[in-house]
């Protein structure tokens, strides 16, 4: 049976996209060290990233940007991204295993939500790694465009340094305006 694993990275940050990935691994993929991306070091994730892409039967990576997050809310934007990632696979799976407690609508195959799936199923672990590495690389590139925010260090999460930079420099186009700290910054600057 062809099973796709689906996961996301970046629901909590104040800036940048949420990134969703879908991966179909063959039974004999031979990848060593797969795990939930949060349990791996950046170096381990980078090492696995290329291997997952080269050994998977199919994979896709989808970016859902701040405008769409603000339009729909982060939860709905994540579900939209997961559905897009599944639809963009060039192999249609028989089943999708979705990390979390809800499945998106309008999928190309039956799906099952799996709480803590990125610790249980290798296909979800692989999706978790593709999403995390892709998002981290995006935030590092963003850091070069907006060095005043320190995106390479905190990846857009609401750290003390990021909140201080928001207060000092205001909001950039990559900030999620619907998130409370960004909303407060915008309100304070419009007075």
Q: What percent of the chain has pLDDT over 90?
A: 94
Q: 133-191: per-residue pLDDT in tens?
A: 999 999 999 999 999 999 999 999 999 999 999 999 999 999 999 999 999 999 887 75
Domain 3-143 class, CATH top level: alpha beta
Q: What is the pLDDT of residue 190?
A: 75
Token pair 């709905």 is found at 76
Taking only the tens place, the pLDDT of each residue in 62-98 is 999 999 999 999 999 999 999 999 999 999 999 999 9
DSSP state, residue 178: T
Beta carbons of 98 and 113 less than 8 angstroms apart: yes
Cα-Cα-Cα-Cα dihedral of 75, 76, 81, 84, to 10°? 150
d(CA 145, CA 24): 34
Alpha-carbon distance of 74 to 176, in angstroms, equals: 9
Do 37 and 131 meet the contact criterion of CB atoms below 8 Å apart? yes
- Say whether pLDDT at 46 is over 90: yes
What pLDDT shows up at residue 191? 59
Structure tokens at 66: 């701040």
Is the Cβ–Cβ distance between 61 and 169 less than 8 Å?
no
Q: How many CB atoms lie within 10 A of CB 42?
A: 11
Give the tens place of pLDDT for each residue, 23-39.
Answer: 999 998 999 999 989 99
Which pLDDT value is given to residue 76? Answer: 97
Contacts for 34 with CB less than 8 Å, ≥ 6 apart:
48, 122, 125, 126, 129
pLDDT digits (tens, 9 = 90+) for 1-28: 899 999 999 999 999 999 999 999 999 8
Specify the pTM: 0.95
Q: Is-contact 59 21, C-beta < 8 A? A: yes
Question: Which strands make up the sheet holding 58-64, listed edge to edge?
Answer: 58-64, 18-24, 3-9, 95-99, 111-114
Q: Contact 65/72 with Cβ under 8 angstroms?
A: no
The encoded tokens of residue 113 equal 């939500």
What is the predicted pLDDT for the residue at 138? 98
């Amino acid at each position: 049976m062809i099973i796709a694993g689906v996961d996301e990275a970046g629901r909590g940050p104040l800036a940048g996209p949420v990134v969703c990935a879908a991966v179909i691994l063959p039974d004999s993929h031979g990848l060593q060290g797969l795990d939930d991306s949060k349990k791996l070091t950046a170096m381990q994730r980078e090492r696995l990233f290329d291997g997952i892409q080269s050994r998977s039967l199919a994979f896709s990576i989808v970016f859902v940007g701040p405008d769409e997050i603000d339009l729909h809310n982060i939860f709905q934007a994540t579900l939209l991204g997961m559905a897009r990632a599944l639809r963009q696979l060039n192999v249609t799976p028989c089943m999708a295993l979705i990390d979390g407690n809800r499945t998106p609508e309008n999928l190309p195959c039956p799906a099952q939500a799996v709480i803590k799936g990125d610790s249980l199923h290798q296909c979800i672990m692989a999706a978790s790694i593709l999403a995390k590495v892709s998002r981290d690389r995006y935030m590092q590139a963003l850091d070069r465009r907006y060095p005043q925010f320190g995106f390479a260090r905190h990846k857009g999460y609401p750290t003390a340094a990021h909140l201080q930079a928001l207060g000092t420099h205001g909001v950039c186009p990559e900030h999620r305006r619907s998130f409370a700290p960004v909303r407060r910054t915008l309100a304070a600057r419009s007075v």
